[in-house]
A = this chain, B = another copy of it.
């Protein structure tokens, strides 16, 4: 059906050359971004996202000049297309490359930040939007729109900070920022979907309860689906492998099944982001160990490359799209109002994030071991890491405010331009400040200095198991005192005794140490 659209389009527009020309220029720009981004990588300030944004802005400007103000874009941004093709590789790769040891070790804190934190942030931004934006005469915005604004601006983009943090120097901090980033994406998208589905015209306790139930159902069902598809892939590849070279099959099956998990989740109205993330984790824990050595290298890098291209694509596009003249036409009548809306929303983002990072960090410190306590400097880093707004916010904003093409309406145009302004401002200004700030807060030790800060995910063996540091649980006292670690222990015993025998996986560390 997607393809059919192309046929029809091809039939009634007939300008094949236009399509090809745009595609050519876009691919050439992507190449340019990668080369320039790579050359600038050494610098203290710039990263690939910022490079792509700037190149996008410049190209947009040039197109705007050559088309005499008609258009600034090569390709039209579509939220659906974006969620169908561009987001899945990024999130899947995040799951596939996650350092499971640290991720699961800090799972409690990560979920606290990613779920509860995002909900707090959502609440504060929505409430603030209702209170403050209502007074600004922003045109026709319903309660649903204000709630959507809360969800849109709760979706963080922590890529910038992750590029600066060193996974080996500050493993706790890295895993918290990384883990929160992914869980946060999932939470905000699930929230956004839940908001769109419910009739929010008259809120009562029944609606609120049903909303909460729906949210929890989406979370649980998405998780189960992702894990099941991941396990299925492990089982199939384990059974299929018969000693012969089958790299193509392995890699193709892993890509296709990961994608299958995503589209299935979307089809069942679940959160594809959460599903494909968990599918990635399961695949790296089981499936990855069942394939040939060549497949291991290939999958690791091929998935990272797909994610890399998709991210560059997004920032390049957002840069180009920012100059689209039509969106700014409405706003140009009242530039002051536009600036006010953007400032208010961004202030709400800053406050909303501070309101949950500090209390939740303290809460987390309360129950974790001394080794895993979050220092004040780390709290500031976590707060900062989640201030940037990126692709997910952009996509959700398009979905909410441009869906039926009514960017003509004042309120919608205002919200789209404010989103663009906040994404550009936070990514560029805050992005540029990130490196110096983090270097100031957490001075790098000499030892690790020589290590490349980009390509962080490949720095050290990343697909290690989760049980390396699981303590020996010998008494009931320990179990009661540290429930999280006890669960970890029981899980890893079960993993060894059953899961890995059925689905394959790395030779167990416990087995080795037990001998």
When C-beta atoms are compared, the residue in chain B nearest to A305 turns out to be B251
Bound-complex Cα distance A31 to B252 (A): 8
Q: Which residues of B contact A458 (CB under 8 A)?
A: 245, 247
Contacts of A27 in B (CB 8 A): 256, 259-260, 263
Q: Mark A239-260, 1 if CB is under 8 A from B, else 0.
A: 0100011111101110111011
A39→B297 contact, CB < 8 A: no
Whether the pair A256, B304 counts as a contact (CB closer than 8 A) is no
Q: Which residue of B lies closest to A15 (CB)?
A: B1
Nearest chain B CB to A43 CB, angstrom units: 14
The listed residue (B8, B34, B405) touching A9 by CB distance below 8 A is B8
CB closest chain-B residue, reference A73: B4
**In the complex, are the beta carbons of A301 and B308 less than 8 A apart?**
no
Q: A284 CA to B325 CA in the complex, in Å? A: 44
A24 contacts B405, C-beta separation under 8 Å: no
- A267 interfacial by beta-carbon distance below 8 Å: yes
A329 located at the interface, meaning its Cβ lies under 8 Å from any Cβ of chain B in the complex: no
Closest residue of B by beta carbon distance from A35: B236
Given A31-B260, A35-B236, A38-B246, verify A6-B80 contact (CB < 8 Å).
yes
CA distance A312 to B292 in the complex (A): 22
CB distance from A491 to the nearest CB of B (A): 29
Contact residues in B for A302 (Cβ distance below 8 Å): 251, 298, 301-302, 305
List, in ascending order, chain B residues with CB within 8 A of A2's CB: 6, 9, 19, 22-23, 75
In the complex, A11 has a CB within 8 A of chain B: yes
Query: Which of these, B19, B35, B248, B298, contacts A308 with CB under 8 Å?
Result: B248
Within 8 A of B (CB), among A87-113: none
Which B residues touch A35, using CB under 8 A? 236, 240, 253
Inter-chain contact A245/B6, CB cutoff 8 Å: no
CB A461 to nearest CB in B, in angstroms, measures: 13
A 23-44 binary contact with B (CB < 8 Å = 1; else 0):
1100110110011001100000
Pairwise interchain contact A305-B6, C-beta atoms closer than 8 A: no
Q: List chain B residues, Cβ under 8 A from A308.
A: 248-249, 252
Nearest residue, chain B, Cβ from A258: B27
Bound CA span A252–B255, Å: 17
Interface: A21 (CB within 8 A): yes
Residues of B within 8 A of A18 (CB): 1
A410 and B35 alpha carbons, distance in the complex (Å): 53
CB distance from A134 to the nearest CB of B (A): 30
Closest CB in chain B relative to A326 CB, distance in Å = 14
- A52 → chain B closest CB, angstroms: 12
A38 touches B264 (CB 8 A): no
**Once the chains are docked, how many angstroms separate the CA of A24 from the CA of B257?**
10
Q: Closest CB-CB distance, A123 to chain B, in whole Å? A: 29
CB of A429 closer than 8 Å to a CB of B: no
Could you say which of B30, B38, B39, B247 contacts A301, with CB atoms under 8 Å apart? B247
A34, A81, A249, A305 pick with most chain B CB within 10 angstroms: A305
Pick from B31, B76, B246: contact of A3, CB below 8 A.
Answer: B76
CA distance A39 to B240 in the complex (A): 7
Selected contact of A305 from candidates B76, B84, B298, CB within 8 Å: B298
Among residues of B, the one whose C-beta sits closest to the C-beta of A264 is: B24
The 4 closest A-B pairs by CB, nearest first: A5-B9, A4-B76, A298-B301, A7-B78
- A: residues with CB less than 8 A from B are 1-11, 13, 15-24, 27-28, 30-31, 34-35, 38-39, 74-78, 80-81, 84, 236, 240, 244-249, 251-253, 255-257, 259-260, 263-264, 266-267, 294-295, 297-298, 301-302, 304-305, 308-309, 312, 404-405, 452, 455, 458
